[in-house]
């Protein structure tokens, strides 16, 4: 089979500006496109805007403008938002474009000629928000369940598409191709719609007397096309159906991404339309859940709607992509919370991945002048084991992510990242250096660098900017992708000096979310300060770790201070501690204590101290007692 991949988002209505729900779907599509490109696919990504129909007509009227002007403005905002977020779509389709209108008319004519369209009379409950008729069974208390709005009964003469004719065929197709609609819960939802009562035919026109903003039917100019029949066709019109090269190349590999709100049009209308018009079906319908948020936080009257670009400027583009792709389990709803964004950035990006990179590059500077060391076969330092873990994590990541299960896939890569941090703790390169075990040190550092390069490469569809920074710092030119060579861990050039990358994922000094909350709830914040309480985010800024004392000496001229060498798990460092009157230096080596690891260095008695040990005393005059930790707790473990 050709390695071709075509991914689409819904085309968004232009009656409102982009919000985080739209941003999520579009980021997911961008990730899937880049992932497949990385895997060697010819990959194509389409998004766009849905511009016809009652809804847009009404919104334009409310804004005192024409539908076309209104659509131009909002569509422009969508396109610019995705561009500013660095989303790399190949095409942006608008349903008011000529190229689209022409294909809609062509397909309508085909369906009409095949005898699947008839003229009839229809009465039904219409929801403008959904742009569709509801059956009595679908309504809740006479209202649309999604828009909580009383539905109007409308009766008019219209054209109908014989959707019911394809009910049996579609049921069989979905049953025989269990992945056609995924995940399973949405396949079942569609099957239960199909297996319930008889499918009704689809009303596909609107009389121009009621609505003129739409595509005129090719066989009756008194009517415009129903907006869903028009909109779904964007997926082929953008490819240049019927003769376009892109249509021929990409169409049958199509992967549609939508949320659970529009399963029926995509799972039932669209396949039956394709079948009737004689087009092949799309590849898969991939359905995600909803991002839910605190009503108060999203209420327009409070002026605090979350805009995708605000999030990016507040937290960073890669950080937001990571949060979205990691936090939502495909198919389920997820809770949107800025506190969780902060946690994900601090724990996963700064602490796990960022720390791994910084520790490794700092040690490389110190021990090898920043140059890629040789790999010493006599001292493999678990190279095979690391390679095995890399392969298993990478394969898990690729197979989950390819099936849209980004969260599970990313977690597999993080297992590897966390293992690499443990690997440093286990091999303690600073100790190898001190003991003069250069060959072992070379291999350990080389293994780490090769692993980091592979991680950066594999994560590049998600951490687009940071991966690019890392890869270009480590290599002169980007490699052609070949999974086997990435997994071989033989990508770097011996002796090449790795460039500085700085801090890739700064820990959040100021918890933006907490600050925002503070603004909205000043009284609460004041009360907290009055009582001397701190926020959890403030506490989280302090990096307290288990450290092991390696050496302790008195400092000449001071009866209070000791100079200690400790292993922090991150590095080996000097601490000046005021415990000389309480402890003999000889009694200290081997003890595991608590270290504040991210304190700014301070000069004490002309010596530099890199952190602080935690000790306790009840009264001022008491001697400080070190907080000792049981030896089973690993060095470097973080207090949380």
Give the active site residues.
Answer: 19, 22, 127, 130, 144, 147, 297, 300
Tell the smallest beta-carbon distance from residue 262 to ligand ME8 (Å).
5
Q: Which of residues 32-91 bind ligand ME8 (CB under 6 A)?
A: 50
Q: Which of 60, 258, 364, 452 binds ligand ME8 (CB under 6 A)?
A: 258
Beta strands in 415-504 (DSSP E): none
# chain residues binding ligand ME8, by CB under 6 A: 18
- Distance, in Å, from the CA atom of 259 to the CA atom of 103, rounded to the nearest integer, reads 26
| Residue among 285 and 492 whose Cβ is closer to ligand ME8 | 285
Comparison of 234 and 355: residue with beta carbon closer to ligand ME8: 234
Q: Whole-number minimum distance, CB 11 to ligand ME8, in Å?
A: 5
Nearest residue to the partner ligand ME8, using Cβ: 21
CB of 459 to ligand ME8, least distance (A): 23
13 vs 71: CA distance, rounded Å: 9
Contact map string, positions 184 to 223, toward ligand ME8, x by CB under 6 A:
----------------------------------------
Alpha-carbon distance 94 to 108, whole Å? 18
How far is the first Cα of the chain from the last one, in angstroms, to the nearest whole number?
Answer: 50
Residue 416 sits in the site that holds ligand ME8 (CB under 6 A): no
Q: Does 231 bind ligand ME8 (CB under 6 A)?
A: yes
- The structure tokens listed for 318 are 């890669």
Q: Which of 70, 159, 291, 368 binds ligand ME8 (CB under 6 A)?
A: 291
By CB under 6 A, residue 324 contacts ligand ME8? no
Q: How far is the CB of 42 from ligand ME8 (least distance, A)?
A: 24
Strand partners, 575: 564
| CB of 590 closer than 8 Å to CB of 568 | no
Q: Does 271 bind ligand ME8 (CB under 6 A)?
A: no
Q: Shortest approach of ligand ME8 to residue 48 CB, angstroms?
A: 9
Count of CB atoms within 10 A of residue 16's CB? 13
127 contributes a contact to ligand ME8 by CB under 6 A: no
What tokens appear for 616 in the block? 């306790």
Q: Does 126 bind ligand ME8 (CB under 6 A)?
A: no
Query: Of the listed pieces 21-29, 170-178, 206-214, 441-449, which binds ligand ME8 according to CB under 6 A?
Result: 21-29
- Residue reference for tokens 């809770």: 335
Minimum distance from residue 232 beta carbon to ligand ME8 (Å): 5
Range in contact with ligand ME8 (rule: CB under 6 A) among 5-13, 33-41, 165-173, 315-323: 5-13
CB 469 within 8 A of CB 504: yes
Is 25 near ligand ME8 (CB under 6 A)?
yes
- What is the C-alpha separation between 456 and 362, in angstroms, rounded? 18
140 bridge partner residues: 143
Examine residue 526 and tell whether it contacts ligand ME8 (CB under 6 A).
no
Largest Cα span, the chain: 102
Residue 56 contacts residue 128 (beta carbons within 8 Å): no
Q: How far is the CB of 50 from ligand ME8 (least distance, A)?
A: 3
Cβ-in-10-Å burial (0-12, 13-18, 19+) of 19 comes to middle
* Sequence-distant (≥ 6) Cβ neighbours of residue 460 within 8 angstroms: 34, 38, 467, 468, 471
Indicate the residue among 131 and 543 with the shorter CB distance to ligand ME8. 131
Sheet holding 205-207, edge to edge: 205-207, 220-225, 216-217
Q: Which is nearer to ligand ME8, 290 or 481 (CB)?
A: 290
Q: How far is the CB of 102 from ligand ME8 (least distance, A)?
A: 17
Using CB under 6 A as the binding rule, whether residue 31 contacts ligand ME8 is answered as: no
What are 233's two structure tokens? 């066709």
262 sits near ligand ME8 (criterion: CB under 6 A): yes
158, β-bridge pairs:
120
Return all residues near 502 (Cβ < 8 A) that are at least 6 apart: none
Residues making contact with ligand ME8 (CB under 6 A): 10-13, 21-22, 24-25, 50, 231-232, 234, 258-259, 261-262, 290-291
């Amino acid at each position: 089979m050709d390695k071709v991949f075509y991914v689409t988002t819904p085309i968004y209505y232009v009656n409102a500006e982009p919000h985080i729900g739209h941003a999520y779907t579009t980021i997911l599509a961008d990730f899937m496109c880049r992932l497949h490109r990385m895997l060697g696919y010819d990959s194509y990504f389409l998004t766009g805007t849905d511009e016809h129909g009652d809804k847009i007509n009404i919104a334009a009227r409310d804004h005192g403008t024409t539908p076309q002007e209104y659509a131009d403005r909002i569509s422009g905002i969508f396109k610019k938002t995705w561009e500013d977020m660095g989303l790399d779509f190949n095409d942006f389709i608008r349903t008011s474009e000529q190229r689209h209108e022409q294909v809609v008319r062509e397909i309508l004519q085909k369906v009409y000629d095949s005898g699947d369209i008839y003229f009839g009379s229809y009465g039904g409950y219409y929801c403008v928000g959904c742009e569709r008729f509801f059956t009595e069974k679908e309504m809740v208390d006479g209202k649309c369940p999604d828009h909580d709005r009383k539905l109007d009964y409308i009766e008019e003469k219209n054209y109908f598409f014989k959707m019911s004719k394809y009910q049996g065929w579609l049921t069989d197709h979905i049953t025989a191709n269990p992945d056609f609609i995924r995940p399973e819960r949405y396949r079942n939802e569609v099957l239960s719609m199909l297996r319930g009562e008889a499918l009704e035919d689809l009303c596909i026109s609107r009389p121009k007397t009621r609505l003129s903003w739409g595509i005129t039917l090719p066989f009756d100019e008194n009517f415009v096309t129903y907006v869903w029949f028009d909109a779904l066709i964007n997926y082929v019109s953008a490819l240049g159906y019927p003769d376009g090269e892109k249509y021929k190349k990409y169409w049958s590999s199509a992967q549609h991404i939508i949320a659970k709100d529009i399963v029926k049009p995509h799972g039932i209308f669209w396949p039956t339309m394709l079948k009737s018009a004689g087009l092949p079906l799309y590849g898969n319908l991939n359905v995600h859940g909803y991002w839910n948020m605190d009503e108060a936080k999203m209420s327009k009257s409070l002026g605090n709607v979350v805009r995708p670009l605000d999030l990016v400027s507040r937290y960073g583009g890669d950080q937001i992509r990571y949060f979205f792709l990691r936090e939502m389990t495909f198919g389920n709803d997820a809770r949107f919370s800025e506190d969780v964004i902060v946690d994900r950035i601090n724990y996963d990006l700064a602490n796990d991945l960022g720390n791994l990179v910084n520790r490794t590059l700092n040690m490389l500077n110190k021990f090898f002048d920043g140059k890629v060391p040789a790999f010493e076969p006599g001292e493999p330092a678990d190279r095979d084991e690391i390679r095995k873990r890399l392969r298993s994590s990478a394969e898990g990541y690729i197979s989950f992510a390819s099936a849209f299960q980004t969260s599970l896939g990313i977690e597999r890569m993080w297992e590897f990242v966390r293992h690499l941090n443990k690997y440093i703790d286990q091999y303690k390169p600073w100790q190898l250096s001190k003991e003069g075990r250069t060959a072992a040190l070379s291999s350990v550092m080389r293994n780490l660098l090769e692993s980091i390069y592979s991680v950066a490469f594999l994560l590049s569809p998600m951490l687009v900017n940071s991966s690019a920074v890392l890869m270009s710092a480590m290599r002169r030119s980007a490699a052609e992708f070949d999974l086997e060579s990435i997994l071989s861990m033989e990508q770097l050039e011996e002796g090449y000096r790795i460039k500085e990358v700085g801090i890739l994922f700064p820990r959040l000094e100021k918890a933006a979310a907490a600050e925002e909350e503070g603004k909205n709830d000043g009284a609460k914040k004041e009360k907290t300060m009055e009582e001397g309480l701190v926020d959890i985010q403030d506490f989280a800024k302090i990096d307290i770790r288990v450290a092991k004392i390696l050496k302790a000496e008195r400092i000449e001229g001071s009866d209070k201070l000791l100079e200690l060498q400790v292993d922090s798990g991150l590095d080996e460092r000097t601490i000046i501690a005021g415990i000389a009157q309480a402890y003999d230096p000889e009694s200290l080596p081997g003890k595991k204590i608590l270290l504040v690891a991210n304190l700014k260095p301070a000069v004490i008695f002309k010596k530099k101290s890199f952190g602080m040990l935690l000790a306790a005393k009840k009264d001022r005059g008491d001697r400080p007692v070190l907080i000792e930790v049981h030896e089973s707790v690993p060095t470097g473990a973080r207090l949380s």
